[in-house]
Structure 1
Amino acid sequence: MEIPEQDAAHMARAVELAGHGHGTTTPNPVVGCVVLDAAGQVVGEGFHAYAGGPHAEVVALAQAGERARGGTAYVTLEPCDHTGRTGPCSRALLDAGVARVVIAVSDPNPKAAGGAARLRDHGVAVTSGVLAGAAERVNEEWLTYARLRRSHVTWKFAATLDGRSAAEDGTSQWITSPEARADVHRLRAASDAIVAGIGTVLADDPHLTARPNAAQGHSGVPSIDSVSRGETVRVVVDPEGRTPQSARVLDDHAPTLVAVAEDVETELKADLLRLPRHAGGLDLHALLRELAAREIVSVFLEGGPTLAGAFIGQGLVDRVVAYLAPAVLGSGPAALGAAGVRTIGEIHRLTFDEISPIGPDVRLIARPAIQPGRET
């Protein structure tokens, strides 16, 4: 489909606006909207800032007022057609008298879908699929959650150029720079859950929390501290229930779930999540389904190579964020453990989306070449 230049430009702006909602909308999607008047001038812009707050279309229409009548609305996700904590956006667009609506991605949630059909039924011209790839990318966490009924997983690791995550004696502080570590805290704060394995808990006794204000957004964009959202949940994957009662991950700084095997006996006083066993560990598909049932949309996977290898091996990593330091160790643990690859034909292929300097380090963002549940 050949996209008119004007449609592409306005949808690109809507995608940019949608990104401002990262980290504050769970369990809702991030959505951006741009409204033009009948003459083609931008008269309203908006994004969904927090769950329970006004949707992107409502914000943009309020800004546009009567100037929206006869105009066009560009929306990154199909306008909802149901009443939840807010009213249906399809009705808001009809009431505003918008003549045309341009949509990037259809809503996969059957409870909310149907907005495009309702608009068409009432004489509104609807165009779908404009910049679908970009809109999918900005909303990938929620789309994974909605389509696959599991949490979206970002695996983060820091390593030397030769792929070592620690020295031979186990020391690892600090391989990367303060700038890279600050970026990690920003990503942590924008996630619904931080996941680590029992090996990391026993070796490092981490807090698994994000620093305050780490998710501060662009100018005029609400920070995590200024909107209504739940705390980031800490999750320990601990099949045998070996987490010490004194572990810092069990302190009162944030809620914690400890995932244990369903048949294990443990006296651990914690919020336990009992899961089936799988390949010497836990069924991670079941873990992500259980987290999704608790409205945890996005997971930030940290910790050691064993758990990362298990997630990769079970096909459950949706995005990789790697911080590479300009240094080499020559020995020591690798960033990734066994991931189910026995021969080169079974290699896990990824595609790079971003390669950027961050302080003296380099940040790489990559995704699996084949991503289940994606439309584009």
Structure 2
Amino acid sequence: MAGSPQDAVHMARAVELAARGHGHTSPNPVVGCVVLDAAGRVAGEGFHAYAGGPHAEVAALREAGERARGGTAYVTLEPCDHTGRTGPCSGALLEAGVARVVHAVADPNPKAAGGAGRLRAAGVAVTAGVLAEEAERVNAEWLTWARLGRPHVTWKFAATLDGRSAAADGTSQWITSPEARADVHRLRARSDAIVAGIGTVLADDSRLTARPALAEGRPLRVVVDPDARTPATARVLDGAAPTLVAVAADTVTTLGADLLRVPRDGRGLDLHALLKELAAREVVSVFLEGGPTLAGAFLARGLVDRVVAYVAPALLGAGAAALGEAGVRTIGEAHRLIFDEVSPIGPDVRLVARPAPPHPRREK
């Protein structure tokens, strides 16, 4: 890691600040900033609070005022060098007279990148890479969108301790507690889109909305429905939030809904193409709530970036599994994960994990 132990302390605070923007900044990143004065004392803090609003650096510099001159700015993402709805943060830092800038992650957006170079050219000392892993994790959704051209996908499921998402007779309400269900609504509200398969819509007739009240136009509801089987009376079409029904490009339908036509991939849709289409609509984060078949299809194609599992202290012994076929033929092909969080929520346990990096192949 670049920088000093003191750099890590202030960057850790910047990461905490960045997290406050979750669910409010899309399609912009979450960013946090801490500004020290020339003596090394904290003079200002800020974070990007909403899309179109002041960037983290500007908010921190406003709080710091003249105390920023000769000081240091800690930013979780490389300061932008782009004029959009706001001016370039590199220019704001130069105007404030900051002597040193420490950033965690380079900006992958070619339109906004270059701030570090501009600062260096103007004589500002720049240190990069401090707490990069932590800053990447807090900004995982936007970085996935910017680097890969597709939304970041979080797959959520609820199951019993033996991995069942429904009983043998198909009943599934409620496996988990009210506390867990309230937490799901919180995560839904932070996402740009909620994606579910036609099987889930037909079985549960879920509205796929978030409570409490939604921000206007969010989250988008997306039904993966290759053959346009969504009933016209389905609650997902109730107008409470915008809805896209993703159908196969060759499907003939009279369904009165906003349709997104996507190429087929076998019996389903081309999920890569679906995510590219959503990314083009500035969908940065997807909350996947499809059943076991759709979840397995996303996993098999390497399109799940985070798993959030709510596990209830109950056993069924029979019934639907939480995950269907996911492209695994032998134990060596298992989708390995790294736990980021294990926490109680009501009587249940919430597990948060991300895909483990692949093991490098050994040279023979």
- If the length of structure 1 is used for normalisation, what is the TM-score? 0.94
The answer on whether the counterparts of 2:2 and 2:127 sit within 8 Å (CA) in structure 1 is no
Q: CA deviation at 1:324?
A: 0.3
Moved more, 95-104 or 260-269: 260-269
Q: Residue deviations 1:305-363, cap 9 Å, x none?
A: 01000000111000000000011000000000000111122111111111111111100
SS in 1 for 2:6: helix
Q: Does 1:58 align with 2:58?
A: yes
Instruction: Give secondary structure in 1 for the equivalent of 2:172.
Output: coil
Match of 1:269 in 2: 256
Matches within 5 A, 1:198-209: 198-209=198-209
Mapping for residues 262-341 of structure 1, pairs under 5 Å:
262-341=249-328
Using the alignment, how far apart are the partners of 1:45 and 1:231 within structure 2?
A: 28
Distance 1:162 1:360 in 2: 16
Counterpart position of 2:230: 243
Look up the match of 2:362.
none
Q: Deviations over 1:268-316 (max 9, x none)?
A: 1111111111131000000110000000000000031010000001110
Q: CA–CA distance in 2 between the matches of 1:303 and 1:121? A: 50
1:119 is aligned to 119
CA displacement at 1:2 relative to structure 2: 5.4
Letter in 2 for 1:180: A
Output aligned runs, 1:134-149, within 5 Å.
134-149=134-149
Equivalences, count: 358
1:49 is aligned to 2:49: yes
Gaps of 5+ in 2: 359-364
Runs of 4+ in structure 1 displaced over 2 angstroms? none
2:30 match: secondary structure: coil
Residue 370 (structure 1) shift: 2.4
Aligned counterparts of 2:159 and 2:3: Cα–Cα separation in 1: 42
Q: Measure the CA separation in 2 of the matches of 1:209 and 1:181.
A: 12
Q: Is the 8 A contact 2:185 2:210 kept in 1?
A: yes
Q: RMSD of aligned C-alpha atoms?
A: 1.0
Residues 229-254 of structure 1 deviation map (CA, whole Å, 9 limit, x = unaligned): 64210000000010001100011100
How many Å separate the matches in 2 of 1:168 and 1:72? 61
One-letter amino acid of the structure 2 residue matched with residue 127 of structure 1: T
> What are the superposed Cα offsets for residues 173-230 of structure 1, whole Å, 9 maximum, x if unpaired?
11111111111000000000000000011111000000115xxxxxxxxxx75xxx64
Listed one character per residue, the Cα deviations across residues 99-148 of structure 1 (whole Å, up to 9, x for unaligned) are 00000000000000000000000000000000000000000000000000
Q: Which amino acid aligns with 2:82?
A: H
Instruction: State yes or no: 1:76 paired with 2:72.
Output: no
SS in 2 for 1:299: strand
Alpha-carbon distance in structure 2 between the residues aligned to 1:355 and 1:159: 15
Letter in 1 for 2:208: L
> Would you say 1:357 and 2:364 are equivalent positions?
no
Q: Which amino acid aligns with 1:55?
A: H
Identity of aligned residues (%): 80
One-letter identity of the residue aligned with 1:271: D
d(CA) in 1 for partners of 2:200 and 2:347? 26
User: Is there any run of 5+ residues in structure 1 with no aligned partner, and where?
Assistant: 214-223, 372-376
Specify the code of the residue in structure 1 equivalent to 2:193. A
Deviations 1:75-117 (A, max 9, x none): 0000000100000000000000000000000000000000000
Q: Counterpart of 1:328 in 2: which secondary structure? A: coil
Cα distance in 2, alignment partners of residues 93 and 3 from structure 1: 20
| Alignment of 1:370 onto 2:357 | yes
Match of 2:361 in 1: none
